[in-house]
Structure 1
Amino acid sequence: MKSDLKTQHIHPPITPFGTNMYLGGLIGVLVAGALGFLYPDASPPAIAIILIGSALMVLLGYKYQQGPELSFTLTFMHIQFHSHYGGWLAKWKNIEQIGQASISVDGWYEPVPWVGIKLKDYEEFVRSICPRVATKLLLDQRVLLVMAHKRMSDPPYELEDILFDDSHYHTTSGYVFKGLQAMLANRMRYNREFLGYDFFISEDFLDRPAADFAGLARRYLAAS
């Protein structure tokens, strides 16, 4: 049954970067204090700079240690992306296909570390995204479209035209996207034409290879 599928939360792996920064900051604070105590004639501005920089490292390191702010939730109803700047949600009933993305090279398809999602209809997805998330999607995922465009011998469009196309987009229900929403919908249309999917999830956001995550998501999709 659909409801038997357990909800899963996917987080990117925690790297030792935060711990190293935190420890480095603590050492810097101790060094600044020792310099001030052992060398009273030392330059106060220099010690202050070391102390302030070290304190910032402690704060940032502590923040990184708290775990990633990015995550995905998979339920029997939908897949959802969460982050400190917003998120998106796609219902399984509106998803046509999920798989590891690939780019054509001389007639061969080369897998890339991204998971592609192809929707049945754009309207619900695009209307629910806040401007900041839409902007992040446009900026972060353009590299895939650029790669696919550059590897075509005779691309049908100029690259600049498809990266910044904000012409009005008409949905199947008659709703008209304008501005940033139109740019996102048009980008998804070009993504589908060049790459076979509408938008993508970077492997950097996942706790497993893109192919494995795509397989997991397809099990939810098949049961929906």
Structure 2
Amino acid sequence: MPTIHLINQPIQLDSRLKTWLLIIIATAFLTLIMTAPGIKQALLIAGVIACGCGFSYFLLLKGTVEYTLTATHFQQHLFKGGWVVKWSNISHIGICQYSYQGWQTPLPWVGIKLKNYSPYLDSICPRIATEILLDQRPLLYLGLRQTKRNAEFEDMVLDTNQFRTEDGRVYKGLQAMLANRMRYQRENYDYDVFISASDLERPIEDFVGLARRYLAAAKPE
């Protein structure tokens, strides 16, 4: 399977639009310097505009999520870091389902079930692990709700107990918290790793179909 790179960027800027933006900013700077009553005031306004442009560009980068799919692995790239898993360590990929009173409702999350937690825990950036623990709290609560275990949420949401994998690896601290969260999510949804549909550049069904084709084509190790 060929290597492909997918990117979900809130605002796509092509080269021509970038050039026009630079021209507009440069023109604004020159106009301010020529028309402002004083050079200090002109420089101050120009500095404010520059800071605003820089902050907007920072927000654009922060909201960008990229994915790399190769013949051997699947990787997520974010502004703060990312994670990687091999296809050979994935047993299943699908759309997360919420079960209530016998009814199945799809959720806007892609679920990935791993065979072994250790490679994922070793590869993930600490800042991303923290973000997952915070951002996916509603998903944990919803999963506990479907089995009427809401009262256990406070004990599970930030479980700091050490975690031992099936291959005997022991994790503590942030990695243990993430591993415990993954264990609870597997009990709720039968998945360990989750990707929000809002982070995808295509419909969730198309993304899952693409990932499954790579998973099916991957050679076992």
Q: Shorter-normalised TM-score: what interval?
A: 0.7 to 0.9
* Residues 139-148 or 164-173, more deviating: 139-148
The answer to whether the 8 A contact 2:133-2:158 is kept is no
Root-mean-square deviation over aligned CA pairs = 3.3
Q: 2:203 aligns with which of 189, 206, 209?
A: 209
The one-letter amino acid paired with 2:204 is A
1:59 matches 2:59: no
- Pairwise CA distance, 1:118: 0.5
1:223 matches 2:217: yes
The one-letter amino acid paired with 2:72 is M
- What is the distance in 2 between the residues matched to 1:28 and 1:113? 42
Please give the secondary structure, in 2, of the residue aligned with 1:40.
Answer: coil
Q: 2:108 aligns with which of 108, 113, 130?
A: 113
Q: 1:144 aligns with which of 132, 139, 151?
A: 139
- Pairwise CA distance, 1:143: 2.3
Identical positions, percent:
44
1:101 matches 2:100: no
- What is the distance in 2 between the residues matched to 1:104 and 1:199? 18
TM-score normalised by structure 2 residue count: 0.80
- What is the distance in 2 between the residues matched to 1:68 and 1:177? 30
The one-letter amino acid paired with 1:135 is T
- What is the distance in 2 between the residues matched to 1:113 and 1:168? 30
TM-score normalised by structure 1 residue count: 0.80
What residue number does 1:40 align with?
37
- What is the distance in 2 between the residues matched to 1:91 and 1:163? 27
The one-letter amino acid paired with 1:107 is G
Unmatched 5+ residue regions in structure 2? none
- What is the distance in 2 between the residues matched to 1:50 and 1:106? 60
- What is the distance in 1 between the residues matched to 2:25 and 2:87? 50
The answer to whether the 8 A contact 2:95-2:109 is kept is yes
Please give the secondary structure, in 2, of the residue aligned with 1:174.
Answer: coil
- Pairwise CA distance, 1:14: 4.3
- Pairwise CA distance, 1:35: 6.8
- What is the distance in 1 between the residues matched to 2:9 and 2:213? 23
Q: How many residues align?
A: 215
* Residues 99-108 or 86-95, more deviating: 99-108
The one-letter amino acid paired with 1:131 is P
Please give the secondary structure, in 1, of the residue aligned with 2:104.
Answer: strand
What residue number does 2:168 align with?
174
The one-letter amino acid paired with 1:144 is L
Unmatched 5+ residue regions in structure 1? none
- What is the distance in 2 between the residues matched to 1:172 and 1:162? 20
Q: 1:164 aligns with which of 155, 158, 161?
A: 158
- Pairwise CA distance, 1:70: 2.5
Q: 1:197 aligns with which of 182, 191, 209?
A: 191
